[in-house]
Structure formats: structure tokens, C-alpha cells
Amino acid sequence: MHRSLHLFVAIAIGALMTIPLNAGQAPASKGPVLVIDTAKGTIEFETYPEEAPKTVEHIVGLVKRGFYNGQRFHRVVPGFVIQVGDPQTRDMTKRDMWGRGSGASSGRPIGVAEFSKKRTHTKGAVAMAHAGDAAKADSQFYITLADVHRLDGGYAVFGHVIAGADVPAKIEVGDVIKKMYVK
């Protein structure tokens, strides 16, 4: 009997050791980490390709092409969001048009609105901006400076800040992205 108990305990321990530590939880999305270098500091954010595959693919493609390098943050609302993604911001003479008009994007909308109940607008969320139709979101994205759950279900959250969380609150309109790249 004693030997049977030891054998049972050994089998039970062996079985427990094969169960992943995160069993029962949704697996973490392992997407590319994007880095935004600014004069105010560096922001790193993870991406969520499981929840927003086309959005992540589109933004990563723009980053790899250098699309965001030299752009300026064109929208800053303290306690709410900072926003970037308009190539017109490289030209100070177009300041009145920053964030608006036909030149305010890459010209290739994502074509789908990838909303997720799993990824919401908590502080540090990275989501796609749009002018009324989420499927027409293109290159402009924002980072939330606080929990803003009223935006949930209307804007695709495709990432979250994982390093440099203090930097977004330091950003001002006109601050430049020195370089944005995939880590």
C-alpha cells in the first residue's frame, strides 16, 4: 500500500508538471513590439495580431517603410490621448490641415474594423483613429493617457504601451518622431 501511494504521488506530480502555468487563461498575443523614439523619450508597445491581424500587419508595414519617421504628434488632449500618423505634419506650413484632409494618411485604408472585447481602452492602449468609419482607418493612431472606455467598440485597439509609460503624458503638439521601428 505504501509503495502504491508513492507511485500515485509521483504520477500526480508528473502530470501537474506538464500543465502550463497559464492554463485556463487566454494565451498572450505575441505580436511585434513597436518602438517610437522622440525627444521626450522612447515608447514601446506590444501589438495584438490575434485580435487585430490586418491592423497590426498594416501598421507594421508602414513602420518598416519609415512612414512615421519625422512625423509630428498632431493631436494632444491632456488626460485623454496623443495622436500621430499624418504625413502632412512634416510640413509646418500645413499645420492648419494636420490630422485632416486627403493627405492625412498613407492612402491605403485597412478596410476592416477589428474591435475586440478583450482589448479595451485602458491607460496606454494603442488604437486606430478614424473620421467616422472604422473600416477606413489608415495610418493615424492614438495612445490613451487614461482609461477611456467610452471609446470601446468604436475604435480598434491593436496594442498597449509596455515601456516608457511616462512618455506619452510629456508629448506636446508638434513633437517629432525621430524614428519608429520594430524591435
Given CATH 2.40.100.10, say whether it is the number of domain 30-182: yes
In this prediction, residue 98 carries a pLDDT of 97
Give the strands of the sheet with 33-38, arranged side by side: 75-77, 81-84, 141-144, 125-128, 157-163, 41-47, 33-38, 177-182
H/E run at residue 3: helix 2-17
Q: How would you class 30 by CB atoms within 10 Å of its CB: exposed for 0-12, middle for 13-18, buried for 19 or more?
A: exposed
Sequence spans of domains, the chain: 30-182
| Each residue's pLDDT expressed in tens, for the chain with a length of 183 residues | 455 444 433 444 444 344 333 333 244 557 999 999 999 999 999 999 999 999 999 999 999 999 999 999 999 999 999 999 999 999 999 999 999 998 999 999 999 999 999 999 999 999 999 999 999 999 999 999 999 999 999 999 999 999 999 999 999 999 999 999 999
pLDDT for the residue numbered 125: 98
C-alpha span between 137 and 20 (Å, rounded): 38
Predicted TM-score (pTM) of this structure = 0.84
Pick from 119, 113, 117, 118: which is nearest to 160 by CA?
119
**Secondary structure element (H or E) that encloses residue 92, with its range:** none
